[in-house]
Chain A
Amino acid sequence: NAGVTQTPKFRVLKTGQSMTLLCAQDMNHEYMYWYRQDPGMGLRLIHYSVGEGTTAKGEVPDGYNVSRLKKQNFLLGLESAAPSQTSVYFCASSYRVAGDQAKNIQYFGAGTRLSVL
Chain B
Amino acid sequence: RKEVEQDPGPFNVPEGATVAFNCTYSNSASQSFFWYRQDCRKEPKLLMSVYSSGNEDGRFTAQLNRASQYISLLIRDSKLSDSATYLCVVGQAGTALIFGKGTTLSVSS
Contacts and interface: CB of A to CB of B under 8 A. Distances in A.
A74 interface: no
A40 B93 CA distance: 27
A101 interface: yes
Name the residue among A33, A40, A43, A90 with the largest chain B CB count within 10 angstroms.
A43
B91 A48 contact: no
Contacts of A105: 34, 46, 49
Contact of B51 (A102, A106, A107, A108): A102
Interface in B24-73: 31-34, 42-46, 49, 51
A102 B49 contact: yes
A111 B42 CA distance: 7
B101 A42 contact: yes
Interface residues of B, number: 21
A95 to B, nearest CB: 12
B43 A90 contact: yes
Contacts of B51: 102
Nearest to A50: B94
B32 A101 contact: yes
B11 interface: no
B96 to A, nearest CB: 5
Nearest to A110: B43
B23 interface: no
A104 interface: yes
Contact of B87 (A33, A43, A107): A43
